[in-house]
Amino acid sequence: MKILVLNCGSSSAKYQLFDMANEEVVLKGLVEKIGEARPVMIHEWGDKKETQEVDAKDHVDALNLIRDAVLDPARGGSADSAEIAAVGHRVVHGGEKFVASSLITKEIEEIIREYFSLAPLHNPPNMEGIRAAKKFFPMVPHVAVFDTSFHQTMPPKAFLYAMRYDMYEKYRIRRYGFHGTSHRYVAERAATLLGTGHDGFTGITCHLGNGCSLAAVQNGKSVDTTMGLTPLEGVPMGTRSGDIDPAIIFHFAETLGMELSAINKLLQKESGLKGVSGISNDLRDVEAAAAAGNERALLAAEVYGYRVRKYIGAYMAVLQGTNAIVFTGGVGQNGVLMRERIVGGLAHLGIKMDPARNQSPSKNSHGEFDIAAEDSPIRIFVIPTNEELMIAHDTAEIASKAKA
């Protein structure tokens, strides 16, 4: 069974084709700058890679290009479209109506549209990708895998905001959480490493990159997470502020005369590592500047690490028992110094890092490694995320049931 996985953004369409017999990536790529002056397609298969300018006025054009590549044997694709058993789609917001991935029907499409207002930058292009893919792969099942579904096991005491209750009843204003596919994948891998089984894993998963979120996972289920109604809430990120006093927004508007659009831009695009350091949203640039003596860069890195550490402490209180702390994402996987900042002072909580393992890890075949000291009661895993494989798994399972 071959599964095509699609992740459509506002101006891009990423794709991977999996052979589920061995869970290998047959080919992958993306079409970027869709609708702009000079769109580009990057396509990779085996040890080959091609980059070319293409005509992609919209997602239909982009999916047409992807279909041609996926079905081209000269570019690593399948000669027969029947070899592709199903298409899996990443959908960011599924609200409260999806606790798991779902076969896409007309009713499901309407529900995805309902959440356009909660994810205006993500759900509309996700929907465009679904419509275009159905046009080019009309005879196979299409499956939606939602970023929010993993977190729908949170109890009301965790997901409700302490505001007037009718705002939740009428408008569904609540914490939803994101990066769910990533949190689910690394939680399952951590369970495998520990030998607990998925239902036996209790720990904290830290997806740290340009976007950042943590999740408290109890017996394999999310019981709390840092992102909220939108991905802005939680820990500081590359350009997002994370948690702030909400009255700051009124201060900006009423005292400084800022427009709401300008405030939104400030919090979404001009804050986080970039805003504090004044240098970059990339932790590598910030760390390099800090090492060279830039005090604001050092402060940015310290704020980032401190806030992640604070949430780890909070979630340990929530879980009342922890098997492991898991790091993933670009920063989580590669930020050696940042991992030290985050967990280096938590030995009193049972989180003991081995600095040598952190610096020079011994990786398994999945690229995973443990940086905890031998006598640490809580393991510290670094696990590369693989959201696309998680989407492929769900898609293959649902497609098989649909065809049965």
Q: Are 221 and 153 in contact (CB under 8 A)?
A: yes
**Residues forming beta bridges with residue 12, ordered by sequence position:** 32
Burial of residue 352 (number of CB atoms within 10 Å: 0-12, 13-18, 19+): buried
Give the CB-side neighbour count of residue 252, counting CA atoms within 13 A.
16
The dihedral of CA 351, 237, 33, 82: what is its sign? positive
Residue 372 main-chain phi, psi, to 5 deg: -80, 150
Q: How far apart are the C-alpha atoms of 283 and 285, rounded to whole Å?
A: 5
Residue 218 main-chain phi, psi, to 5 deg: -120, 120
Q: Are 352 and 372 in contact (CB under 8 A)?
A: yes
Tokens of 174: 């609540």
DSSP 296: H
Q: Coil, strand or helix: which one is 231? A: coil
Q: Which of 294, 293, 236 is nearest to 270 (CA)?
A: 236
Is residue 375 flagged as an active site residue?
no
Strands 40-45 and 212-218: unpaired
**Residues forming beta bridges with residue 49, ordered by sequence position:** 44
Q: Are 9 and 122 in contact (CB under 8 A)?
A: yes
Which residue in the list 19, 47, 58, 147 is annotated as catalytic?
Answer: 147
Q: How far apart are the C-alpha atoms of 6 and 379, rounded to whole Å?
A: 34
Would you name the residues annotated as active-site residues? 147
